[in-house]
Amino acid sequence: MDNCVFCKIIKRELPSTIYYEDDKVIAIKDINPAAPVHVLIIPKEHIVNVKDINESNSQILIDIHKAANKVAEDLGISEKGYRLITNCGAAAGQTVFHLHYHLLGGVDMGPKIL
């Protein structure tokens, strides 16, 4: 957890462009965007990925989705649509092992993810 890049961003040890923050989550600009709008929504509590969601921390999923709605509205993509994705494990493409969601939009992405 000490080398977790998101933990360092949350603690303000690394710079980031913050779009939204409350006591549970932070939403930041992705430094390697895959779409015109690409925001990472990250819980402040260190959770590795969705496999680590349990009865005691499941509220974070609601908090993440509420933040996604707010960010999408603020960035003007709420009405047209956006994609919300999380990767779970290395084989799924997870490279930072701290739960986070990618909010992607600002372009017609079509029906397929791959």
User: Is 100 a residue of the active site?
Assistant: yes
Burial of 20 (0-12, 13-18, 19+ CB in 10 A): middle
Nearest-angstrom CA–CA distance, 93 and 84? 15
- Comparing CA positions, the residue from 108, 106, 48, 112 lying closest to residue 72 is 106
- DSSP code, position 51: G
DSSP lists the bridge partners of residue 42 as 26
For the beta sheet containing 18-21, the strands, ordered from the edge strand earlier in sequence to the opposite edge, are 18-21, 25-29, 37-43, 101-105, 82-85
Candidate list 38, 46, 98, 100, residue with the active-site label: 100
Catalytic residues: 100
